[in-house]
Structure 1
Amino acid sequence: MRVIVVGGGVAGAVSAIALRRIGAEVTVYEAHADPGGQVGSFVSLAVNGLRALESLGCLEPVRRAGFDVARQRLWSASGRLLGDVPRGRLSGDPMRSVTLMRADLVATLREHALRAGATVVTGERLVDAARTGDGVRAVFGTGRTDTADLLVGADGLWSATRTVLDAGAPSPVYAGLYGVSGIADDVPADARVAEGTFNMVFARNGAFVYLPAPGGSVWWSAQVARPGEPDLSGVDEERWLRRLGGLYRSEEVPSAILRATTRLHRPTLTHTLAEVPVRHGERVVLLGDAAHPVGAGQGASMAIEDAVVLARHLAAAPGVPGIPDALAGYDRDRRDRVGKMVRAASANRDAKTAGPIGRRVNDLIMPIFFRHFYERSTAWLYAYEPGSPPVHARTGV
């Protein structure tokens, strides 16, 4: 089986690993010259994503590229502790969530994909695809074409594959949040930055996330609530820090971290996507954010799960003629779980954009929820077992 994977980020790289594992010949086409690079901030992988990586044999390199985070604490704008729970896992699970820079995650997965025998082609953006005989023909912006038995659209929120598959597919919409992240050094010792703890403050102007990293720095992300879509261009680091300092001036710990900041990452807008009605055809399938952006710290983990489940269904198919049924089975397998995650992410986003009344309600409800219901309400997410794609005798990866 020959497969074209569109997108060289997390979803594309892990798809290549999973598909090589079952013996497919894989070529990854990435629009950017460097699909990793210093793009974005840090990402977290919960245990469901880590177990999916473990099933592909690439858990340990990812863990080495980041660091374990055992606990998650949630705080009100006034500094009241609302909840203290295991981070990205159930309390009895010995595995720990891992946090790392997105660029390091992409680089680690891409290196594993290359070692597994995948080919990566950069600087090629998909513009069209069509059935040709028993396969699919992909056309790229440079005029390059390629044919395969299957095309996997792992090209993210602004997926070209999604539009090729369905011209009426929904487009991303601004979600009322924008993000600015950075790194702080020499944060005052009295700030609440306990080692191995991920913290989220439900602040007056949006959530503020922070956690200590190895070496003594603090990684942080301000998720600013703003109804109208802002223009994020043309503002330098000093002005961004002044702006954020004003927005979070009432929150003690975020203010201290902002004052100690030494580096900012590029600001980004947060978008939502309506349910994608067409997620696969007979020889084209969407995966990860191209099919279902979720956020809430689960975007990468859900994409990794997708790749494992897709590979399992393809491995069980009776060769190339079985691809359409395998894609349909993959979609059925993932639809309910992903839909539940999308609803959970929406509730998470609403908590970050709540107004004064909503914040007061959350301050009353959250301590009760985290104390009595959190474990039961997240068991479906963290206890998930994705299965393991069979290792093909020829590739042996």
Structure 2
Amino acid sequence: MTHTRTAIVVGGGIAGPVAALALRRAGIEATVHEAYTTTADGVGGALGIAPNGRAALGLVGLDRIGTPMNAIVLQNHKGRTITEIRQPAQFSWRADLYRRLYDLALQQGVEVHHGHELVDVRESGSGIRAVFADGSTSEEADVLIGADGLRSTVRRLIDPQAPEPRYSGLLGFGARVEGAGLPPTGDRMYMAFGRRAFFGYQTFEDGSGVWFANLPYAYRTWQQARQTSNEQWLHRLAEAFAEDTLPALDLLRLTPPEDLITTGPMEDLPHVPHWHRGRMVLVGDSAHATSPSSGQGASLAAESAVELARALRDLPHPQAFAAYEHARRARVERVIAQGARTNSGKAAGPVGRVVRDALLPLFARLATPEKMAWQYDHRISWDAPVAA
């Protein structure tokens, strides 16, 4: 029988609802508290859900996610194919995944409270309370879980000296387009190292398509990036790809400014020294944010949420937090490091581009399914007991 009966989950994005669903499956009542006053419908760009992530999401009742993307075709700036890497995944929009999880949580009886911006906690020997900006406090719970993202308030409460996110040197953009006018790419995502930016796209049988771009740029916050108009960003992206033999310009022309999604700076957290303190613990991006280039952000968040719930099911919270961190830290930091190496290739300068393009065939030979199995074949055994 679980030692933990109740939990406060701070953050209602992706990791928060998954954590609440996993906790409920473990017999722990969880409520979700979100700072924003409204839901996040329509917010966010594209993401990949790897097989390990699909398996973790399946453990909380979510299946059939997104569109199949079973291979990545890497190209150079001339549109020449360097290699094809078999990497089974699902392509999804963050907004779609968010809505599926949000609805599932409500169906399972999870309470979700909006407009609850966490500012402090009150911890005692018997439990913990969350204090919100409006002066209200939640009911006391046994534990508090920080699923509040890259700029986590819970991370700061656990450790005031916690590191800040690290900027990769890249800004992210993307859009859906209708009438792409390109042959369907099937289950393949094409990705190209352009001379001045990185571009990816996938087109479908109905004529629609999706694209994303990573543009090397001086650091800007998401708010600062949004201060530049979409028309201006589309113009800058067109300039970046003007010398490349890619379909980038065609897809940019088909993108109405109002449909451009600016995801802002691509950042990560290479190492968070403290994942837990007292009755507080971190999950998802608050503990181990990886760059979107890894294709594993949502998948790792789902894995960690499930592992945390298992640990709290089987152990008192101090031992559960330690067992959870022990099970997760090495794996997630390895993925973060790999994503950072990918970013360095996307943001390479003139000399770096020459070296990168020369080494890409070698990288492709190393990125075999067998070499990548440690990422994609990872599975969590829900029924297995968690040892201290």
Q: Percent identity, please.
A: 36
* Counterpart position of 1:30: 34
Confirm whether residue 290 of structure 1 aligns to residue 281 of structure 2.
no
Which of 370, 374, 381 matches 1:376? 370
Cα distance between partner residues in 2 of 1:53 and 1:21: 12
In the TM superposition, residue 253 of structure 1 has moved relative to its aligned partner by: 1.5
Aligned ranges 1:135-214 → 2 under 5 Å: 135-146=127-138, 147-189=140-182, 193-213=184-204
Which amino acid is the alignment partner of residue 128 of structure 1?
A: D
Listed one character per residue, the Cα deviations across residues 242-292 of structure 1 (whole Å, up to 9, x for unaligned) are 221111112221112112223212341222334111101131110010001
Stretch moving more, 239-248 or 101-110: 239-248
Please state whether the residue corresponding to 1:211 is helix, strand or coil.
strand
Which of 270, 285, 298 matches 2:266? 270
Confirm whether residue 44 of structure 1 aligns to residue 42 of structure 2.
no
Stretch moving more, 75-84 or 2-11: 75-84
Confirm whether residue 338 of structure 1 aligns to residue 329 of structure 2.
no
Confirm whether residue 261 of structure 1 aligns to residue 255 of structure 2.
yes
* Counterpart position of 1:129: 121
Which amino acid is the alignment partner of residue 154 of structure 1?
A: A
In the TM superposition, residue 59 of structure 1 has moved relative to its aligned partner by: 1.6
- CA change 1:13–1:213 in 2 (3 A) is farther
- CA change 1:17–1:214 in 2 (3 A) is farther
Which amino acid is the alignment partner of residue 149 of structure 2?
A: G
In the TM superposition, residue 293 of structure 1 has moved relative to its aligned partner by: 0.5
Aligned ranges 1:12-27 → 2 under 5 Å: 12-27=16-31
In the TM superposition, residue 345 of structure 1 has moved relative to its aligned partner by: 1.0
Does the CA contact (< 8 Å) of 2:9 and 2:19 recur in 1?
A: yes
Unaligned runs of 5+ in 2: none
Cα distance between partner residues in 2 of 1:180 and 1:301: 21
* Counterpart position of 2:63: 59
Q: Calculate the aligned-residue CA RMSD, in Å.
A: 1.9
Listed one character per residue, the Cα deviations across residues 148-176 of structure 1 (whole Å, up to 9, x for unaligned) are 10101001001111001111111124321
Does the CA contact (< 8 Å) of 1:204 and 1:248 recur in 2?
A: yes
Which of 342, 355, 361 matches 1:348? 342
Cα distance between partner residues in 2 of 1:261 and 1:157: 29
Does the CA contact (< 8 Å) of 1:45 and 1:297 recur in 2?
A: yes
Does the CA contact (< 8 Å) of 1:308 and 1:389 recur in 2?
A: no
Cα distance between partner residues in 2 of 1:183 and 1:335: 35
Stretch moving more, 113-122 or 166-175: 166-175
- CA change 1:338–1:189 in 2 (3 A) is closer
In the TM superposition, residue 188 of structure 1 has moved relative to its aligned partner by: 3.2
Which amino acid is the alignment partner of residue 299 of structure 1?
A: G
Confirm whether residue 329 of structure 1 aligns to residue 350 of structure 2.
no
Cα distance between partner residues in 2 of 1:168 and 1:67: 41
Listed one character per residue, the Cα deviations across residues 36-78 of structure 1 (whole Å, up to 9, x for unaligned) are 2211111110001001112222223xx2xx2111221111112
Confirm whether residue 364 of structure 1 aligns to residue 340 of structure 2.
no
* Counterpart position of 1:73: 73
- Which aligned runs of 4 or more in structure 1 are off by greater than 3 angstroms? 227-231
In the TM superposition, residue 213 of structure 1 has moved relative to its aligned partner by: 4.7
Cα distance between partner residues in 2 of 1:367 and 1:209: 18
Which amino acid is the alignment partner of residue 82 of structure 2?
A: L
Cα distance between partner residues in 2 of 1:24 and 1:219: 39
Which amino acid is the alignment partner of residue 280 of structure 2?
A: V
Question: What is the number of residues matched between the two proteins?
Answer: 373
Cα distance between partner residues in 1 of 2:204 and 2:286: 30
Unaligned runs of 5+ in 1: 90-96, 391-397
Which of 229, 232, 242 matches 1:249? 242
Cα distance between partner residues in 2 of 1:45 and 1:235: 30
Which amino acid is the alignment partner of residue 146 of structure 2?
A: G
* Counterpart position of 1:395: none
Which amino acid is the alignment partner of residue 138 of structure 1?
A: A
- CA change 1:158–1:215 in 2 (3 A) is farther
Cα distance between partner residues in 2 of 1:34 and 1:294: 26
In the TM superposition, residue 220 of structure 1 has moved relative to its aligned partner by: 1.1
Please state whether the residue corresponding to 2:19 is helix, strand or coil.
helix
Cα distance between partner residues in 1 of 2:48 and 2:366: 25
Please state whether the residue corresponding to 2:150 is helix, strand or coil.
coil
Cα distance between partner residues in 2 of 1:274 and 1:376: 25
Confirm whether residue 222 of structure 1 aligns to residue 213 of structure 2.
yes
- CA change 1:332–1:206 in 2 (3 A) is same
Cα distance between partner residues in 2 of 1:198 and 1:83: 12
Does the CA contact (< 8 Å) of 1:67 and 1:214 recur in 2?
A: no
